[in-house]
Chains A and B, each alone.
Chain A
């Protein structure tokens, strides 16, 4: 599975980084960096938590 960021919605608050630092990181410019956009089966619960923790609903998990 693959993570998709809606750049129009993301405001770089970093709650996804708190939930899953292996996948998300807010850069110095406030833009979200996908450290890794691929999600293994074992990482899925953590990444789904990150997606649900996004205040602006900017993240999606694609099959």
Chain B
């Protein structure tokens, strides 16, 4: 139940998924005061995963998250779009938007993250990043004309863009600095296994090399030189090497930031400041379900964190909910659905179902007698059930037993011998 009254104001900084969900959750808690949502982009909240998928492949229109009338009829929120918040003054409980201070009684920060950029890149046409809908148009132009596209970074987004571009018969090169793409997300062996999809689909993936030089002609990129001396002619250079939390505007605010620039939150997603919560890509918090602290840059966590932060921001002290999750993300490459839940680090992956050769399989990540993660490739019915089992602390024997058809005979947790680590 909302502890804030009709005359109180909830300000949400960030008009994307996490910010929208915060506002919706505040209303669901019964908050009847004013809600102001501030966004640096001009658009009403839209969904970002399609930007590197349908929007790029089919030219799908801007994927708004809600119908416009929702905002006036049920959410009753005021949007201030096209201008970012530039400062936070916690002592006065105000944020600066444009030149004006705006008072808040509760604040949710959901400013997201921006693509990391390589510092040494020249100023030239044809060097791009992808985060906003505006970025799609430039990228799409290159994709549609069947150009040669080079992507720096073989992560999830880089792989999706490569897939979309190959679907349009572009020539695609991916340059990956490490020897093992997606190691952090999927573990070394599975990251490498999935990255073979690039080779099979005609994308030239080059690992263990970095960018040495960008060639330009009349301020237009024409090619790159790599650290091994090789040269690649290219019409477009897309930088996709991760993101940086958007917290530069908070540097004078006294809010506690982590070394990576994200906002340090507690398990309730409260920041170090009173009445100030945060959600989405901008947050680091201790996740009780994985035992790890840090950021999660996924749609799912932005969705869930927004709801928790919004409810907690307007709720009473005793009503606040902690946030913990088994992380989940999905990706689509070359017509293959890739889904992952949990964590991959420090665990041993084992294929427990299906066939790697046919690109249709399930992998469980084992750590002692526990399962920390599950990877499903073209097995869409499996992921949420296994995610739930991980959340409930199912053992390796229980989960692998299900796939081997011996689940019913597996001993209960209490009867099992001590795990051999």
A and B held together in a complex: yes
A57 to B300, CA, bound (A): 14
Residues 285-340 (chain B) with a chain A CB within 8 angstroms: 299-300, 303, 307, 328, 330, 337, 339
Complex contacts, B98 vs chain A, CB 8 Å? none
| B380 (CB) vs chain A CBs: closest residue | A30
Complex contacts, B303 vs chain A, CB 8 Å? 15, 52-53, 55
Complex contacts, A27 vs chain B, CB 8 Å? 380-381
Partner pick for A18 among B28, B66, B299, B388, CB 8 A cutoff: B388
Partner pick for B380 among A14, A52, A55, CB 8 A cutoff: A14
Complex contacts, B381 vs chain A, CB 8 Å? 25-28, 30
- Interface residues on chain A, number (Cβ under 8 Å): 20
Q: Which of B28, B47, B339, B380 is most buried by chain A, counting CB atoms within 10 A of its CB?
A: B380
Q: Are B299 and A55 touching (Cβ within 8 A)?
A: yes
Partner pick for B384 among A17, A45, A55, A56, CB 8 A cutoff: A17
A15 to B339, CA, bound (A): 12
- The distance from the CB of B319 to the nearest CB of chain A, in whole angstroms, is 15
Q: Which of A18, A53, A56, A57 is most buried by chain B, counting CB atoms within 10 A of its CB?
A: A18
Question: B24 near A: Cβ within 8 Å?
Answer: yes
A25 to B385, CA, bound (A): 9
A57 to B383, CA, bound (A): 20
A9 to B299, CA, bound (A): 17
Question: B49 near A: Cβ within 8 Å?
Answer: yes
A28 to B381, CA, bound (A): 5
- The distance from the CB of B300 to the nearest CB of chain A, in whole angstroms, is 7
Q: Which secondary structure dominates chain B's binding surface? A: helix
Over the window 22-63 of chain A, the binary record of Cβ atoms lying under 8 Å from chain B Cβ atoms (1 yes, 0 no) is 000111111000000000000001000100110111000000
- The distance from the CB of B379 to the nearest CB of chain A, in whole angstroms, is 8
Q: Which secondary structure dominates chain A's binding surface? A: loop
Question: A1 near B: Cβ within 8 Å?
Answer: no
25 contacts between A and B (CB under 8 A): A12-B337, A14-B384, A15-B300, A15-B303, A15-B328, A17-B385, A18-B328, A18-B388, A21-B384, A21-B388, A26-B380, A27-B380, A27-B381, A28-B379, A28-B381, A30-B381, A45-B28, A52-B24, A52-B303, A52-B307, A55-B47, A55-B49, A55-B299, A56-B47, A57-B66
A26 to B160, CA, bound (A): 23
A5 to B157, CA, bound (A): 28
Given contacts A14-B383, A45-B28, 4 further A-B contacts (CB under 8 A): A26-B383, A28-B380, A30-B337, A52-B307
Complex contacts, A53 vs chain B, CB 8 Å? 303
Q: Which of A15, A17, A45, A52 is most buried by chain B, counting CB atoms within 10 A of its CB?
A: A52
Complex contacts, B307 vs chain A, CB 8 Å? 49, 52
Q: Which of A14, A26, A53 is most buried by chain B, counting CB atoms within 10 A of its CB?
A: A14
Complex contacts, A17 vs chain B, CB 8 Å? 384-385
| A53 (CB) vs chain B CBs: closest residue | B303
Q: Are A52 and B387 touching (Cβ within 8 A)?
A: no
A51 to B330, CA, bound (A): 18
Question: B356 near A: Cβ within 8 Å?
Answer: no
